[in-house]
Chain A
Amino acid sequence: MWSFHQIADFINDWLNQRFNPTWVTVIEMIITGILVISLFAVLGLVLVIMERKVSAWIQIRLGPNRVGPKGMLQSLADTLKLLVKEGMTPTGSDKFLFNLAPYIAMIVAMLLMAPLAFARNFQMWDMNIGVLYITAISSVSVIGVLIAGWSSNNKYSLMGAMRAGAQIVSYELSAGLSILAVVVLTGSLNINEIIQSQANGWWIFKGHIPAIIAFVTFIIAVTAETNRAPFDLAEAESELTAGFHTEYSGMKFALFFLAEYVNVFIVCALGAILFFGGWMPFHIGNWQGFNHVMDFIPSSIWFFGKTFFLIFLIMWFRWTFPRLRIDQLLNLEWKYLLPISMFNILLVTAMAIGGWHF
């Protein structure tokens, strides 16, 4: 059966027969880079059309339905439009930082791809601190937003950027604590080991109520971290026109837009890895027959299925809940989520020490 793992091994063998090891590494890095960029492009297109269709159906509308079959090529047409649009740089802005900001947002999103396991044995970089790496790098994304807001020389942009800063810094805490819950249960920061530990059941089932609480706080915190509604204060259309990317146009705007969607994908992939077992098929304890049937579904389908389920969850939230005010936002984090997740981590620790999980 074909799998990503086999294809990667085949390419590796083929290259090793023809080139010396240094060139093999260089060529493989180039291939990986191209794959990451094309994954970005595909994710951008797919997630934008998905968001537009989901929002339309939730709001009792039809959504895009003219370009291509059932409107599925709409986002491709939009991308084409953005590509040919002029990328303006305002006269009063800090030109260097203004042009740098979209690339920072983009690079951060790209770096986050590195430790994700897309399928069985298919990973760019199997590092022993994968989860820590993701939490560390994702905090850098706030710098791109702050630079964009500051360099635009526009009060809406600056206000949006400051809000985004306050929001990301505060929600990082409960996101980190909910991630920590799974790390405590697994005893490892390595993403592969976290996935392997879920071979006999995903943590959301094995971890009882504390894992469910951790999952809920994780979803809330990452929604806030990716600046999406109901926490989209940073770009609150009705108050700040578009927040930190008010002054951006053309492809520079598209890069921010793409980075937002890729970030959504990455946090959902992380959620799938931590709580739903990543590429691990759905296994129930010792039911050998059932487990074998589940093993027949390719691991990449399991991974993308779970990730897209979580993405749908976040989109569902976006189009259901009203936006929070800035004080309500900070109240929610500091008075509710943080105490709850701290108490939860205590529970999880007791559970891990006592071995009460399956």
Chain B
Amino acid sequence: MAFLKSYLMFIVKYIKEVFGAVKSLAIGLRRTMYYFTHHKEIITQQYPDNRETLNFPERFKGEVVMPHNENNEHRCTGCTACELACPNGTIKVITQFITTPEGKKKKAIDKLVYHLELCTMCNLCVVACPSDAIKMAQTFEHSVYDRGELTKILNNPGSKIMEGVE
């Protein structure tokens, strides 16, 4: 009797397995059939054709830039936090001492050198920056004919630090 019962259990389990498998496969088939018949779901962007209407996800990262305001002022204090945070030596901060109108000597950036060819867009410099001086831009067409063109100086010529940023 016990043998018969276990045998019956096996048969029931076997049939359940077959039906469960068929059901799960049918769910998958329904999903792919939905995609097959609904072409509006297609996510392919035909890139060079739709250059004007491209829209990026919020977190898409193209290169590091330093925003300047209309008076050619940036927020960088030259603290080198970004340089220290960078895992592969992409950023080099060159500082100089300038004399403020009050006659005080103060540290400020001369150049913030950014090697785009070494950058992995990891965003660690942007996170590390205490004064929000740099951010990630969404430009991505970076191909150039000479490698030297990829070494960029992020602060504009003649720019100075914004008032109130310490």
Contact = CB atoms under 8 A, between A and B. Distances in A.
A1 interface: no
Contacts of A60: 35, 41-44
A57 B28 contact: no
Contact-residue bracket for chain B:
10 to 19
Nearest to B30: A320
Nearest to B25: A321
A59 interface: yes
A62 B44 contact: yes
Interface centre among B18, B33, B36, B44, by most chain A C-beta atoms within 10 angstroms, is B36
A57 B39 CA distance: 7
A319 B36 CA distance: 11
Contacts of A316: 29, 32-33, 36
B46 A62 contact: yes
Contacts of B35: 57-60
Interface in B36-65: 36, 39, 41-44, 46
A250 B39 CA distance: 34
Contact of B36 (A57, A62, A317): A57
A62 B28 CA distance: 20
B47 to A, nearest CB: 12
Nearest to B18: A336
B42 A61 contact: yes
A113 B41 CA distance: 39
B42 A321 contact: no
A54 B33 CA distance: 10
Interface in A304-319: 316-317, 319
A320 B44 contact: no
Nearest to A216: B22
B36 A321 contact: no
30 contacts: A54-B36, A57-B35, A57-B36, A57-B39, A57-B42, A58-B35, A58-B36, A59-B35, A60-B35, A60-B41, A60-B42, A61-B42, A61-B43, A61-B44, A62-B42, A62-B44, A62-B46, A316-B29, A316-B32, A316-B33, A317-B29, A319-B32, A320-B25, A320-B28, A320-B29, A320-B31, A320-B32, A321-B28, A336-B18, A340-B18
Closest 4 CB pairs of A and B: A320-B32, A62-B44, A58-B32, A57-B36
